[in-house]
A and B are shown apart, each in its own frame.
Chain A
Amino acid sequence: MIERGTTPGEEQLIASILGGNSHEFHALIRPYERTVYVMALTLLKNEADAEDVAQEAFLKAFRNLKNFRAESKFSTWLISITLNEARSRLRRKSAVPMESLDEPSDEQGHVSPALLRDWREIPSESVERLEVRQLLQQAVEDIPLIYRETFILRDIEELSIHETAETLGISVASVKVRLHRARMMLQKRLAPQLKQVNPKRRWLPWS
């Protein structure tokens, strides 16, 4: 897992870049390439758009580095820029139905999980299979946007609940509610599907 937050190393790099050593920006952003891309991809659901937005986000971060305040984390700042870029792109794509950033009316509603007794194992080797990766990606992409953003930041990019709240500009309580709903939506959809594609499951003859 990558180091989170503005580390002393990052602070030095930023000072050096602002002092004229612009080429050091390459080193500053290397640990965050995947984070920014995944954020863009799961919002835009399109690899080409995601790469474009990721590049734009890094360029914007470079151009605005002087405005970065070291009291916040560099990673959080960078992800906020990415989120804004991706949201702008979503708004501009008028041909595609716009996903709402408003709270769904059933925000307080209940999501029931899939009631499976027999899918407990971690089929870690299954991620090597394209079929499984596609199932996982598609399931994440299909969650409503407000839940997806929260899930990506907290569970895929492993930000803390407070960092997730700060990045999205919502309360900690909202993060918890959205996260819970996102996780339950994924469990309900994926647990039955992954059970079917898990070849390592051993069935006891008497079970």
Chain B
Amino acid sequence: MVIDCKHVWNHISGYLDDTLSAEVKELVQEHLEHCEICSAILDSTRNILILTADERTFELPLGFSERLHARLSEEIEGIRPAPSKSD
């Protein structure tokens, strides 16, 4: 069985996550070996995932951590969590 480009596009996400069945994975792999467009789509999708997951893409604002822990300290001074039932 041979699958066309549009079928391969439907499986790109599953291929990246390695969640395809062995049969479908093999068909996709065979297609990718000879289809320059689909292998470029796969590579560019993978690269975009790498870039968006890069910690520099979504950076914490300056002073975020300090402000957060200062606010937590205020709360912790005022309220203590109730003891668990076993206490």
Contacts and interface: CB of A to CB of B under 8 A. Distances in A.
Interface in A113-151: 113-124, 126-128, 132-133, 136-137, 140
B76 A62 contact: yes
Contacts of B23: none
Given A51-B64, A116-B40, A117-B40, A156 B9 contact: no
A191 B50 CA distance: 13
Contacts of A72: none
Given A51-B64, A115-B41, A41 B72 contact: no
A13 interface: no
Interface of B: 6, 9-10, 12-14, 16-17, 19, 36-37, 40-41, 43-45, 47-61, 64-65, 67-69, 71-73, 75-76, 79-84, 87
26 contacts: A17-B81, A20-B83, A33-B60, A33-B65, A34-B58, A37-B58, A41-B58, A54-B64, A54-B68, A55-B71, A63-B79, A113-B44, A115-B41, A120-B44, A120-B47, A122-B50, A124-B51, A124-B54, A133-B57, A136-B51, A155-B53, A156-B53, A176-B14, A187-B41, A187-B45, A194-B51
Contacts of B82: 66
A187 B72 contact: no
Contacts of A54: 64, 68
Contact of B84 (A66, A179, A187): A66
B47 A121 contact: yes
Contact of B54 (A23, A110, A127, A179): A127
Contacts of B65: 33
A22 B78 CA distance: 11
Nearest to B17: A161
